[in-house]
Amino acid sequence: METKDILIGVVIGALIGAVGIYLVNMPRVSQMNTQVKALQDQVQQLEDAVSAQQVLIDSQEARIIMVDALEEELNATRDLAEEYQEYALTLTLEYELLNKMCAQQTYKLEEALTKLNQSEIEFSFVYGDLSFEDWWEINKSPLEQWWRIVYG
């Protein structure tokens, strides 16, 4: 029985040793578990911060894309505005030319009608002794305005 008693003693000793080691290491294991939990919380916070930063980056990229699109639209609008300005200038020049041509024709007709004594206006009162070019330099204006000058 001695072997049996020795074996039982060894098993009981091992159990007591294991329990002793467990009890001695329990504070360290608990402390390590606490540290592991703190590290896991820190990892989660870092992952959340990275996610938040990624959201900001994505939002900034979206803003950059939107700004680029707005710049392209602005440039297209500027180009269109320049085309319209050129067109408006052309129309203005054409209007001024037509206005002058109309005034010149009126001058010629009124001059001819005056010579024929059939004019409704007093030619010399409206035009004086001025040539059309001289009169135009003095009175050039939109059609409606010089029409009032001529026909009162």
What range defines the domain where residue 99 resides?
A: 2-151
pLDDT > 70: percent of the chain: 97
The pLDDT value given to residue 73: 92
Alpha-carbon separation of residue 135 from 8, 43, 56, 142 (angstroms): 138, 90, 71, 14
pTM higher than the cut 0.85: no
Residue type, 65: I
The tens digit of pLDDT for each residue in 108-119 reads 887 887 777 776
pLDDT in tens, 44-78: 998 888 888 988 888 888 899 999 999 999 999 99
Total domains, the chain: 1
